[in-house]
Amino acid sequence: MAKVSISDDSDLFWAGLNERRLLFQTCRACGAHRFPFRMSCSRCGSFENDLTESKGGGFVYSYTVVERPLLPGFDEPYTVVLVEVDEGVRYLGLYAGDVDPSQLIGSRVRARLNPDQRVPVSFAPEGN
């Protein structure tokens, strides 16, 4: 299995996943939420931030169906979703449900954290 490369900017995110926590940054100066992790706030430029844990619920903002995987080991086709969690940041992950992808936009989902898997974040329909 391929391992994800962890950079200095993202090491706290991956450490959170290992604790089954979905984290994002919150700027101490202006309160902006951000993900992926960055050194400075894109709104005000501050380098001061806090880690905030998402509750994992959100809605599907966008999706794509991958017909031909770039890496071996993925069943095809599979659906990748861009989810805006209730706290306002967006995460990519696999869709773990059986709804027709064309019906996904706007649907409620909940994060599933699987730090030992090839893709550590997936989203399933809320209530499943």
Stretch 27-32: mean pLDDT, rounded? 98
**Model confidence at 59: pLDDT above 70:** yes
Residue 82 has a pLDDT of: 98
- Evaluate the CA torsion angle 59, 61, 67, 73 in order and state its sign: negative
pLDDT in tens, 72-124: 877 889 999 999 999 999 999 999 999 899 999 999 999 999 888 878 899 99
* Bridge partners, residue 64, by sequence: 80
The predicted structure's pLDDT at residue 86: 98
Task: Indicate the length of the chain as a whole number.
Answer: 128
| Mean pLDDT on 42-58 | 96
Return the SS3 of 103: helix
CB 97 within 8 A of CB 112: no
Sheet holding 33-34, edge to edge: 33-34, 22-27, 49-54
CATH of domain 11-125: 2.40.50.840
**Would you state the pLDDT for residue 71?**
78
Mean pLDDT of 48-72: 93
What is the per-residue DSSP string for 17-59?
Answer: HHTT-EEEEEETTT--EESS--SS-TTT----EEEEEE--EEE
Q: What is the pTM of this model?
A: 0.87
Higher model confidence: residue 5 or residue 25?
25
* Residue 39 structure tokens: 């050194």
